[in-house]
Amino acid sequence: MIYDISVTFRTEYRLLQGKTNSMEKILSVKNLTKKFKRVVVNNISFDVEKGNVYGLLGPNGSGKSTTFGMLLSTINPTSGEWYWFGKKGTDPDTLKKIGAIIEQPNFYPYLSAETNLKIVAEIKGTSYQRIEEVLKTVHLYERRKDTFRTFSLGMKQRLAIASAMLNNPEVLILDEPTNGLDPEGIIQIRDIITNIAKQGITIIIASHLLDEIEKICSHVIVLKEGNSIYSGRVDEMTADNGYFELKADNNTLLLSALNELQWFAVVNQDGEIIKAQIRDDASVSASALNQKLAEKGIFLSHLTRKKQSLETQFLELVKNTK
Amino acid sequence: MNKLLKLEYYKNLNYKPFRVFTLLYFVILTALLFIGLIDFDLFGGTINLKQQGIYNFPEIWNFTTWIVGLLKIFLGLIIVFSICQEFNDRMFKQNIIDGLSREEFIGSKLLTIGIFTIISTLIVFAITLFLGYQYSTVTSSDRVFEEIFFIGNYFVKLFTFFCFLMFLSVLLRKSVFVFLAVFIFWIVEGVLSTAEVFMKVKGMQGAQRNEILQNDFFVSHLLPLESMSSLIPNPMMRLNMAKMMGLKYEFHYPTESLIACLAWCAVFILGSYWILKKRDW
């Protein structure tokens, strides 16, 4: 179900992007560095363009939260600079155009959801009318009078999203938005995020969960020990043609037939399944392969074309930069 | 200003313990002002503070402000808890991310402190005036307002004390540590001023020694807690009992303490701001 949503979302989002074709920069980060006792963020640079969904990807402790902290003015950078909407640094007025959720939902535990949002509305200078609207979006309107401390983690996280959306932000920053949630909570949060992305709001999302990034993001910045090791489109992360998974009644025959064809770099057997890695210079479709094999008298009981998962790509990337 | 007021209203007045303790403070404050009407059993005899002259103009201003001045720690507790809570729940960080500036944060806390101090001062002023007209042996207007400056001093004393607590709360972020720090401050100041007095009067006797104690300038009087307490000196020497025993009461307006207090306020406010700015949250 999640997958379906994200597929439609991606298509729609690309249409949207094609239509506007804007290259307006929301955020531009240049040589940002933070040293505590050791270097936590090392000289990273990246740009965020309007309407895209960016993933900040990296294992725990790779500097994601510190980077967000600096961009949100809660952490003082050691060196480097950044521009929000073309304006240097982060002042309170800029922050009012940004919706951000950091680490975990922070609200006054003894206040009701509604009062907590009133405080945020006061700070951001928004009217209280939006409160009802955002509470309904995250399905918490019925619980608005309950104190924050009575909420489950999933509800807390949804309230945090409501709070971030209060001022109709131009950018949404999410730090590990599904961390610690149960599967249902994860689905709810992802649905909400996909809906927000459909509205054309730029999103920067940090996560160490690769499938999450893969499902939501169009662009990715990969951090490793404070260094940015990749910044660009998700689908350009590795130049990779993908591979076929095949199975026939007679796998030995299939194996030798595949080896005869000049299309594959590696062919190997993995249990019942044969995996054939397509060569970088070759271009072959599943139907063409099926036809070719049928001509040789081999009938397949299984054939799928797969791309390397982001996880494999990511691991490869991290491995290569060691 | 309106925005900051609303923020503090939502944050504090919806918090039950805050409401309860604030109410309690003002009730105790009012009750304490009427203390002179009660008879105390002391050393076998009864002492009635009213008969000792605490409700006489102009001393009454000194007595009432000094007595309720002891209650400032109660209100201080509430303020410390309220500010430390912002840091414990990571709400300061969230407020900043939502777009509150550090100046506004400090401003909102000063607003709360200011409002508390003003209300407390007004209550003390109104009740003192009432008690004075009710029980004072003299009520001619020049006597009534002769020492009214104690009300102003009371305001400065409370405000400085709360600025001090705000600074420590921002610095230490945990209420327990704030109280420990106040305690340590209190002891250190006590030791320092005793040491200074000891150094100055070493080897002196009698009149010469009193002369120094009365008129000499003591640097330790400029320390925060010391300067706050010098704003309203202990009025026990002004009791009828003390007068009968022949103790002489001399009072100099503590100008240097007033200036010191105002300077400390500035230091604490700017210091809090500097910490909020420089620290990583």
* pTM of the predicted protein model: 0.82
CB within 8 Å of B96: residues ≥ 6 apart: A72, A73, A74, A95, B102, B105, B281
* A322 to chain B, closest Cα gap in Å: 30
Please compute the mean of the pLDDT values over residues B91-118 and round it to a whole number.
94
* B94 to chain A, closest Cα gap in Å: 6
Contacts of A107 in chain B (CB under 8 A): 89, 91, 94
Please compute the mean of the pLDDT values over residues A93-107 and round it to a whole number.
89
Least confident segment among A60-69, A199-208, B172-181, B202-211: B202-211
The model's confidence at residue A4, banded by pLDDT at 50, 70 and 90, is: very low
The model's confidence at residue A213, banded by pLDDT at 50, 70 and 90, is: confident
**What is the rounded average pLDDT for all residues in chain B?**
88
A96–B6: do the CB atoms touch at under 8 Å?
no
| Whole-number Å distance between alpha carbons of A247 and B243 | 111
Please compute the mean of the pLDDT values over residues B180-202 and round it to a whole number.
90
Name the nearest CA neighbour of B141 among B153, B132, B131: B132
How many Cβ atoms sit within 10 Å of the Cβ of residue B198? 9
The model's confidence at residue A12, banded by pLDDT at 50, 70 and 90, is: very low
* A317 to chain B, closest Cα gap in Å: 32
**What is the rounded average pLDDT for all residues in chain A?**
83
Please compute the mean of the pLDDT values over residues A64-86 and round it to a whole number.
92
B19 at A interface, C-beta within 8 A: no
Least confident segment among A158-162, A237-241, B207-211: A237-241
The per-residue pLDDT for A8 is: 41
| Whole-number Å distance between alpha carbons of A83 and A66 | 17
Give exposure, A33-53, as e/b (b: 16+ Cβ within 10 Å).
bbeeeeebbbebebbbbbbbb
Q: Which of A2-16, A59-73, A115-129, A237-251 has the highest mean pLDDT?
A: A115-129
Please compute the mean of the pLDDT values over residues B196-212 and round it to a whole number.
79
Of A75, A100, A106, the CB nearest to B91: A106
* B28 to chain A, closest Cα gap in Å: 26
Contacts of B280 in chain A (CB under 8 A): 36, 69, 74-76
* A112 to chain B, closest Cα gap in Å: 9
The model's confidence at residue A16, banded by pLDDT at 50, 70 and 90, is: very low
The per-residue pLDDT for A19 is: 40
Per the DSSP assignment, residues forming a β-bridge with A54 are A204, A219
- Chosen for mutation from A33, A93, A114, A122 (greatest number of chain B CBs closer than 10 Å) is A122
Of A73, A109, A122, the CB nearest to B7: A122
B96–A74: do the CB atoms touch at under 8 Å?
yes
Of A76, A95, A125, the CB nearest to B280: A76
Whether the pLDDT of residue A185 is over 70: the answer is: yes
Whether the pLDDT of residue B181 is over 90: the answer is: yes
Please compute the mean of the pLDDT values over residues B175-204 and round it to a whole number.
90
Please compute the mean of the pLDDT values over residues A158-167 and round it to a whole number.
91
| Whole-number Å distance between alpha carbons of B95 and A120 | 8
Tracing tokens 């040589």 back to the chain, one arrives at: A31
B197 at A interface, C-beta within 8 A: no
Q: How confident is the model over B11-41, as pLDDT tens digits?
A: 998 888 899 999 999 999 999 888 878 777 7
How many Cβ atoms sit within 10 Å of the Cβ of residue B261? 25
A108–B281: do the CB atoms touch at under 8 Å?
no
Q: How confident is the model over A272-296, as pLDDT tens digits?
A: 888 888 887 777 788 888 888 888 8
SS3 B91: helix
* B165 to chain A, closest Cα gap in Å: 22
Whether the pLDDT of residue B203 is over 80: the answer is: no
B281 at A interface, C-beta within 8 A: yes
| Whole-number Å distance between alpha carbons of A118 and A126 | 9
Pick A138 or A241 by higher pLDDT.
A138
Least confident segment among A49-53, B45-49, B58-62: B45-49
* B85 to chain A, closest Cα gap in Å: 9
Contacts of B104 in chain A (CB under 8 A): 92
Which chain A residue has its CA at the smallest distance from B93's CA? A74
Of A76, A110, A125, the CB nearest to B15: A110
Please compute the mean of the pLDDT values over residues B39-56 and round it to a whole number.
75
The per-residue pLDDT for A239 is: 55
Half-sphere exposure of A19 (CA within 13 A, CB side): 8
| Whole-number Å distance between alpha carbons of B63 and B83 | 31
The model's confidence at residue A180, banded by pLDDT at 50, 70 and 90, is: confident
Whether the pLDDT of residue A264 is over 90: the answer is: no
The model's confidence at residue B108, banded by pLDDT at 50, 70 and 90, is: very high
Whether the pLDDT of residue A24 is over 90: the answer is: no
Pick B5 or B241 by higher pLDDT.
B5
Please compute the mean of the pLDDT values over residues A214-226 and round it to a whole number.
83
B11 at A interface, C-beta within 8 A: yes
Whether the pLDDT of residue A6 is over 60: the answer is: no
Q: Are strands B45-48 and B39-42 parallel, antiparallel or unpaired?
A: antiparallel
B14–A110: do the CB atoms touch at under 8 Å?
yes
A242 at B interface, C-beta within 8 A: no
* B102 to chain A, closest Cα gap in Å: 9
| Whole-number Å distance between alpha carbons of A55 and A221 | 6
- At B69, the amino acid letter reads G
B280 at A interface, C-beta within 8 A: yes
A123 at B interface, C-beta within 8 A: yes
Over the Cα atoms of chain B, what is R_g? 21
The per-residue pLDDT for B92 is: 94
Contacts of A74 in chain B (CB under 8 A): 93, 96-97, 280-281
Whether the pLDDT of residue B100 is over 60: the answer is: yes
The model's confidence at residue B120, banded by pLDDT at 50, 70 and 90, is: very high
- Chosen for mutation from A33, A65, A123 (greatest number of chain B CBs closer than 10 Å) is A123
B252 at A interface, C-beta within 8 A: no
| Reported ipTM | 0.86
B103 at A interface, C-beta within 8 A: no
The per-residue pLDDT for A23 is: 66
The per-residue pLDDT for A222 is: 85
Which chain B residue has its CA at the smallest distance from A163's CA? B98
| Percentage of chain B lying above the pLDDT 70 cut | 97
H/E stretch holding B134: helix B102-135
* B280 to chain A, closest Cα gap in Å: 4
Which chain A residue has its CA at the smallest distance from B90's CA? A106
A96–B99: do the CB atoms touch at under 8 Å?
yes
- Chosen for mutation from A37, A95, A104, A119 (greatest number of chain B CBs closer than 10 Å) is A119
Whether the pLDDT of residue B264 is over 90: the answer is: yes
A89 at B interface, C-beta within 8 A: no
Whether the pLDDT of residue A314 is over 80: the answer is: no
Beta-carbon pairs below 8 A across chains A and B: 74
Which chain A residue has its CA at the smallest distance from B99's CA? A92
Whether the pLDDT of residue A21 is over 70: the answer is: no
- What is the three-state SS of chain A? CHHHHHHHHHHHHHHHHHHHCCCCEEEEEEEEEEECCCEEEEEEEEEEECCCEEEEECCCCCCHHHHHHHHCCCCCCCEEEEEECCEEECCHHHHCCEEEECCCCCCCCCCEHHHHHHHHHHHHCCCCHHHHHHHHHCCCHHHCCCEHHHCCHHHHHHHHHHHHHCCCCCEEEEECCCCCCCHHHHHHHHHHHHHHHHCCCEEEEEECCHHHHHHHCCEEEEEECCEEEEEEEHHHCCCCCCEEEEEECCHHHHHHHHHHCCCEEEEEEECCEEEEEECCCCCCCHHHHHHHHHHCCCCEEEEEEECCCHHHHHHHHHHHCC
The per-residue pLDDT for B248 is: 66
Please compute the mean of the pLDDT values over residues B118-134 and round it to a whole number.
93
